[in-house]
Amino acid sequence: MFKVYCASHGSDVLLGFSRINNMANIDGLIVIELECYDGERVRHYTGRRFHEFEMRARQSSGEA
């Protein structure tokens, strides 16, 4: 199960493995694309480079 934020629902939802559409390992950053029950496509990021990716995203958006 994956806990992901769905913009259509405006909240977190739990999605099972059957909801996976695509998965990629990009140099240690694992990107999982899932489809919510209402058809919204969401991404879940994990892997050994996730924190590095998250920090870069925060810096580019102006968050500290």
Question: pTM of whole model > 0.75?
Answer: no
Average pLDDT over residues 33-47: 92
Confidence of residue 1 (pLDDT cuts 50, 70, 90): very high
Separation CA 45–CA 53 (nearest Å): 9
pLDDT above 80 (res 13):
yes
Answer yes or no: is pLDDT of 54 > 70: no
If phi over 0 gives left and psi between -120 and 50 gives alpha, with beta otherwise, what is residue 40? Answer: beta
Q: Where are the alpha helices (DSSP H) in 1-64?
A: 50-61
Q: Distance from CA of residue 25 to its chain's centroid? A: 13
Residue 16 has what pLDDT? 95
